[in-house]
Amino acid sequence: MQTIRQTLIDLLSGEPLGARELSRVLGIREEEVCDHLVHIERTAGARRKKLTTLPFACLDCGFVFRDRKHFTRPGKCPRCRGTHIETPRFQLR
């Protein structure tokens, strides 16, 4: 039987996916997905892989969150203070 974490690693090795999509596929809460992502990032080096957060943008002004290290979505845009922010997507490569 595969563990949730292993399934998550397999999923992330394919198409980039957002935390919400992952939580739906795995049947766990989004916060749990984030906990797993933190662990996967920490151990990715041992597999010669890297967990990448794809740049995501503010839907109000187009500001791109390039250097964001956190796995959760920011509440507000630092430029326009808007709250319509794209969901970050993750990929293991």
Give me the least distance between CB of 30 and Zn ion, in Å please: 22
Give me the least distance between CB of 8 and Zn ion, in Å please: 30
Give me the least distance between CB of 67 and Zn ion, in Å please: 16
- Nearer to Zn ion by Cβ, of 45 and 82: the residue is 82
- Nearer to Zn ion by Cβ, of 25 and 64: the residue is 64
Contacts of 4 (CB under 8 A, 6+ apart): 26, 28, 36
Contact 8, 17 (CB under 8 A): no
Helices (H) and strands (E) in the chain, counts: 3, 5
Which token pair is 10?
A: 């397999």
Binding residues for Zn ion, rule: CB under 5 A, are 58, 60-61, 63, 77, 79-80, 82
Contact 58, 81 (CB under 8 A): no
- Nearer to Zn ion by Cβ, of 4 and 61: the residue is 61
